[in-house]
Amino acid sequence: MMLTVILCIGPLARLDDRFRPLHYSRRHFGVMTAFVALTHASYILNWFFSFSSLSKIENLLMANTNLRQLAGFQFEFFGILALLGLAVLVSTSHDFWLKFLAAKQSQV
């Protein structure tokens, strides 16, 4: 839900000037969303697998290995992919990476 709101800020700021102050804080909201997602993932792993003999990540990925059927498909893979995507977005939203990855201005 947080990610949906953050992704809506950009188009809303272009459509209406009342949303422009939120546009400047969008990067910080995105970092906060990634930390909330990471906290959620760590709490869920600790809660579900607190009494398991295997490691938490190994237990999560090996709980159901039947990936050919829709019934019983592990949706945790999508959560891991989403968390990795948020990690890439957070790591590239730093000022250094924004300057490093920006297009070079040609001097005419």
Where are the domains positioned within the chain? 26-101
97 vs 46, residue with greater confidence? 46
Predicted confidence (pLDDT) per residue in 51-102, tens digit: 777 777 777 777 666 667 776 677 778 888 889 998 888 888 877 777 777 7
Residue 56's Cβ-side half-sphere holds a number of Cα atoms within 13 Å equal to 12
Mean pLDDT value across the chain = 81
Instruction: Classify 96 as helix, strand or coil.
Output: helix
Please choose, from the candidates 1, 28, 25, the residue with its C-alpha nearest in 3D space to the C-alpha of residue 13.
25
Query: b or e along 52-75 (b: 16 or more beta carbons within 10 Å of the residue's beta carbon)?
Result: eeeeeeeebeeeeeeeeeeeeebe
- Is residue 39 over pLDDT 90? yes
- pTM check: above 0.75: no
